[in-house]
A and B are shown apart, each in its own frame.
Chain A
Amino acid sequence: MAGILEFAPAIVLLPFLSFLIALGAGRYMPKGGALAGIGATAGSFLLAVATFVAVSGGQTYNQTIYTWAEGLDAVDLTFGLLIDPLSAMMLVIVTLIAFLVHVFSLGYMNDDGQTGLPRYYAGLGLFTASMLGFVVADNLLMAFMFFELVGLCSYLLIGFWFRQDGPPSAAKKAFLVTRFGDYFFLIGVVAVFATFGSAAFAGPDAFPVLAEEALAGEHSVNTFLGMGEQAWFTVVGLLVLGGVVGKSAQFPLHTWLPDAMEGPTPVSALIHAATMVAAGVYLVARMYGFYALTPTTLAIIALIGGFTALFAATMGVVKKEIKQVLAYSTISQYGYMMLGLGAGGYVAATFHLMTHAFFKALLFLGAGSVIIAMHHNENMWDMGGLKEKMPVTYYAFLSGSLALAGIVPFAGFWSKDEVLYETLIHGLGGSPILLAAYAMGLLAVFFTGFYTFRMVFLTFHGEPRSETARNPHGVRWNVKAPLAVLGVLAATAGLVNMVPVEKLFGIKGIDFLHQFLDGSFDSLNAHHYAELIPYSSGYIGGEAGTVAIGAAVSLGLALAGAGLAYVLYNVPEPVEHTEKLGSIKTVLYNNYYQDEYQVWIATGVVQPISRVLDKFDQGVVDGVVNGVSSVSLFLGSRMRRIQSGVVSNYAALLTLGLTALLLGLGLIGGWFA
């Protein structure tokens, strides 16, 4: 396997190549360029797997491959590749999901007779390439650049159906809201350069390492605005976090994500499972060595995560459209990852990132399959009874739902449980903030179980509630195959890291992910992070006891939520029980009026200000300019009266002038003294 990592750039370049092919020649190709994309992502996936195997064998790779801007007497800005367990794992996830999404698109887009397919596949290719570039980035600047490209691609793909009103608006919102977060991120990037003179994630001048040494007093770094090192690092961490909150759709910048459902469903799967939204959390994990140094930042991450997990889950409870439910579940699940990272559970959060990628891609593709069957009607109240009509979709979707709800032994259970467990022990170790975040996360488990199975029952169980649900459109292999693959993964992916089993029964060595993530560079491995985090652990009834209690409570809550959904909705003719919530339902259905206030800020505050400024500019600033010209024109029109045309007057003026001159010179010359 020697040297396989040398081919890592190809993982990024292959999808980029498919972008170029689809853009340039897609219209002349069968399937509108899909085959190029499928081939490229398949190639990338194989390479990524090879990379993964090599990394498992202990290899790592950290090379600068391109100098973007060479600084004379200043820092070089470079691109490079950093392949370590974290990025290798992510590469596999992204390429796999991208490949499956490409295949699924054959069914969703091509079989549906959509137009503009070259544009679609070009967008997918660029999206995948951007995300892969982000994943392998070896420094913060490169990460930012690909982060932004990911944003561009989401704009292009969410707005794919640009001839309608909704998608362009949603695309604009997605880009603008994430841009707002990226604004802070960009300041953060600049600040990291200014502080450390380097933005590398790994290597001798890695900025997390420099920060660690600076805090240990080994050498000094530049800080700004008169702040101490700890305070300044916190500021920088929070600035970068702005981009994370925007892209990973955390409160309060989550509002773009539900709107982004306007895009084609395979794109939603890609955005939510593996690319854009994952990018935020991945970034925190990537520079975890830096975040672990600043307790304030960690606490804020944990709080944002816990709150978002609960907040989004409650909104998911009342939605009518299947994709809307999934959208809020995405926000909620990324909240868990943030919670895990903030609570010091680096491995747990990474684990959840992985399992979530599988089951969320599965759920979105499953929803896509349902939407094909329903002739693009997404309203769950028009569905029902699809179980018999589309068994493959049903069982795959069920597997994903069990994983999402966190039912043992599906993937989501293991990762979510580990996130909550890490939060619990570190909270018990003396951090009330983490305990509060834990409580929120725990409560969200119940809601997750409820809305997930409400969705399952409404869609697949009971009697069909519309004509299309009685005669659904069939789906072909290109839809079923990706579902089957992901269905298996959603059921089994959690088994790679059965920490509770290990702790409870003392079976050593089944926490494969822990071991894998430890095999990184010294400054980037999980073991190092565990030493850095500013938390201590506390237990109820010993380690095993805490594990058992935590797992039991979260599993219980998930089952309770699912059970409630079973009681309420697994009936032939379900009704909208959420009506009973009254005004609470209205608030939830309107997303706590989060959109309203953000739209209000844009149209009710910024736009009036800009109009007033425009008036000011036209009236006052330009008024002064025009005023100066008017005054000189007016003075001219008066002054020219002197020019009477009568020669005698000119002569008189001349004489007067001469006299005045003589008198003046005389006065100065002292003639009259």
Chain B
Amino acid sequence: MIIEALIAVTFLAALVTFVLPDRIAGKAAFALSLVPVLGSLVMWQQYDASGNALLGGNIAFETDVVWLQLGQYDLHWMVGVDGISLPLVVLTTILTTLAILSSWTPISERESQFYGLMLLMEANLLGVFTALDFFVWFVFWEAVLVPMYFLIGVWGGPRRKYAAIKFFVYTNIASLVMFIGFISLVFGLGDSISSLRLPEIAQALQAGQLSGFAGLSASALASVAFIAMFLGFAVKVPVVPFHTWLPDAHVEAPTPASVMLAGVLLKMGTYALLRFNFTMLPETARSFALPIALIAVASVIYGALLALAQQDLKRIVAYSSVSSMGYVILGLIAYTTYGVGGATFQMVAHGLISGLMFMAVGVIYNTTHTRMVTDMSGMADKMPVTAGIFVAGAFGYMGLPLMAGFAAEFFIFKGSFESTVMAAMPLFTGAAMFGIVIVAGYLLFAMQRTLFGPFEFDGDYEITEAPFHDVAPLAVLLLLTIVLGVQPDIFFTMIQEAVNPILELGGAF
């Protein structure tokens, strides 16, 4: 019941925050958001599951009750976590709390609505990561978009309407494509399933129950469904060439929304890819190894090169997210313990580090009211603590050992290099790894121009060190990054337990 309690408390917190006066909304939202943090930590501490939730493993904190009937299908309220989803649940709660803390300075109008929407989004995100019934999952999946749409559209920058609509429409159409793909699988399974519970579907697919549908053979149907679902999730991740909504959304979004967008919302895409495409249709995934690996490498290199061309700090971090998510795709397609496990670990690591970077950029923006690299230099002189954390975070992003990013990237590289899905994987791995050089290039250039050198700033604002409540979330994120980098087993063991069953899947048809 703890999952239901977690989601319900977060929803309630959102409702309460909506009606509170603006004056105390921020502090109240922060206090209320600590409850789900505690809840998720309790879950982590009491976690006792093993195996993959979809493939018959033990599911932790499972609830499974029939909810509605829809034709031949029972709709279940089924929630639970395994080693793949629990880290993301913890990430979501922690990051939301820190994002709320980081909103105290920049958000100064309609505060109660803002914090209410943040908590509402958290509740929906928790639903996405814990739901194990397709219907429930899909409701949460779509519901996440709504708060984010308003966060960008109301509190965003000058082009916020364009960015918000682009974000909403793009990802919504993608959901439609994904939905078609998934439902065609459901129809292809015919009478062999009686509910839309993901474990049931995954196991039916494994048992070879998929039959042809609408004139397609079973394997052709699997391919079509795989492609449709991949496209749908690819927009969310995003991978090249479906990434263009991301920089726009990030640039216009207020800092806390960017943090959530990069930190958690992108992981919905990779999480779903892992849960649906790579767990349910492993054979099809293996047969598409070449195009998927190509997309992964393209995302890494192309995203990094684009980041190199940007002048806006937030755009730099936004494009680098495209690059980092490319590693996740590479790890997923590897089908090795370290590959898929590393990809899952990267979801958490990138969530922390990109959150850290966006917050750090936001803290600088709060004081300077500009994010342009060309508008400032020598900020480290006036904001030493912020600059120090910025440098540390940037090195984390570059994959400095003993920080979470390195662990994730090394796992992925190791896993994909020794992958057996195709003979050329070492070459793809080597190509993708060049991303670590480019990422160092653009972050070092950006830091040299903004943080170092003689202090110069063209603007009327007085530059001083940021207040404590702005720096504190940065410090917490940095600490978490280092802790995870020194001891990845905090999550990596449970991730591997959940991932290994996927690797053992054989061909079903």
Contacts and interface: CB of A to CB of B under 8 A. Distances in A.
A296 interface: no
Given A70-B493, A190-B413, A226 B440 contact: no
Contact of A67 (B310, B336, B489): B489
Majority secondary structure of chain B interface residues (helix, strand, loop or mixed):
helix
B336 to A, nearest CB: 8
A614 B337 contact: no
Interface string A162-184: 11110111001001100110010
A179 B489 contact: no
A162 B338 CA distance: 39
Contact of A225 (B427, B448, B488): B427
B407 interface: yes
A152 interface: yes
A607 interface: yes
A602 B440 CA distance: 12
Interface in A75-116: none
Contacts of B452: 159, 162-163, 167-168
Nearest to B307: A610
A613 B436 contact: no
Nearest to A608: B309
Interface stretch (A481-489, A506-514, A617-625): A617-625
Q: Which of B400, B433, B445, B448 has the most CB of A within 10 A?
A: B448
A127 interface: no
Q: Which of A73, A159, A169, A194 has the most CB of B within 10 A?
A: A194
A74 interface: yes
Nearest to A226: B423
A4 interface: no
A337 interface: no
Given A168-B448, A225-B426, A152 B305 contact: no
A162 B497 contact: no
Interface stretch (A140-148, A366-374, A531-539, A545-553): A140-148
B418 A193 contact: yes
A224 B454 contact: no
Contacts of A68: 407, 486-489
A614 B241 CA distance: 13
Given A165-B453, A165-B454, A194-B426, A71 B496 contact: yes
Contacts of A662: none
Majority secondary structure of chain A interface residues (helix, strand, loop or mixed):
helix
Given A149-B402, A607-B308, A614-B310, A175 B454 contact: no
Contacts of A165: 453-454
Given A194-B418, A617-B244, A162 B426 contact: no
A183 B433 contact: yes
Contact of B306 (A72, A159, A613): A613
Contact of A183 (B336, B410, B437, B492): B437
Contacts of B149: none
Given A191-B426, A194-B426, A613-B302, A145 B401 contact: yes
Contacts of A167: 452
Interface string B413-428: 1100110000110110
Nearest to B442: A610
A617 B402 CA distance: 34
Contacts of A180: 437
A654 interface: no
B395 interface: yes
Contacts of B166: 625, 629
Contacts of B447: 168, 172
A492 interface: no
Nearest to B401: A145
Interface in A208-225: 222, 224-225
B77 interface: no
B448 A71 contact: no
B84 interface: no
A149 B400 CA distance: 7
B430 A187 contact: yes
A606 interface: yes
Interface in B123-173: 166, 169-170
A163 B337 contact: no
A152 B440 contact: no
A622 B244 contact: yes
A172 B451 contact: no
Contacts of B429: 187, 190
Contacts of B302: 613, 617
Nearest to A183: B437
B455 A163 contact: yes
A156 B395 CA distance: 11
B433 A186 contact: yes
A152 B493 CA distance: 29
Given A183-B434, A607-B309, A617-B306, A194 B414 contact: yes
A79 to B, nearest CB: 10
A613 B381 CA distance: 34
B285 interface: no
A116 B241 CA distance: 46
A496 to B, nearest CB: 35
A172 B448 contact: yes
A611 interface: yes
A564 B151 CA distance: 75
A611 B411 CA distance: 32
A176 B309 contact: no
B444 A164 contact: no
A168 B437 CA distance: 18
Interface string A58-72: 000000000111111
Given A175-B444, A602-B441, A610 B400 contact: no
Interface string B484-509: 00111100110011001000000000
Interface string B223-250: 0000000000000000011011100000
Contacts of B414: 190, 193-194
A69 B306 contact: no
Given A149-B400, A224-B426, A225-B426, A614 B493 contact: no
Interface in B425-484: 426-427, 429-430, 433-434, 436-437, 440-441, 444-445, 447-448, 451-455
A609 interface: yes
B417 A71 contact: no
B453 A629 contact: no
A172 B445 contact: yes
B454 A71 contact: no
Contacts of A74: 336-338, 496
B276 interface: no
Nearest to B413: A190
A625 B426 contact: no
Contact of B241 (A149, A159, A621): A621
Interface in B384-417: 391, 395, 398, 400-402, 406-407, 410-411, 413-414, 417
Nearest to A68: B488
A148 to B, nearest CB: 5
Nearest to A142: B401
A176 B493 contact: no
25 contacts: A68-B487, A69-B411, A69-B489, A72-B337, A72-B496, A152-B395, A152-B400, A156-B391, A162-B378, A168-B452, A172-B448, A176-B444, A183-B433, A183-B434, A186-B436, A191-B417, A224-B423, A224-B426, A226-B423, A606-B305, A610-B308, A611-B309, A613-B302, A621-B240, A625-B166
Interface of B: 166, 169-170, 240-241, 243-245, 302, 305-306, 308-310, 336-338, 378, 380-381, 391, 395, 398, 400-402, 406-407, 410-411, 413-414, 417-418, 423-424, 426-427, 429-430, 433-434, 436-437, 440-441, 444-445, 447-448, 451-455, 486-489, 492-493, 496-497, 500
Given A149-B402, A186-B436, 5 more contacts: A69-B411, A149-B400, A169-B448, A187-B413, A625-B166
Interface of A: 67-74, 141, 144-146, 148-149, 152, 156, 159, 162-165, 167-169, 172, 175-176, 179-180, 183, 186-187, 190-191, 193-194, 222, 224-226, 602, 606-607, 609-611, 613-614, 617, 621-622, 625, 629
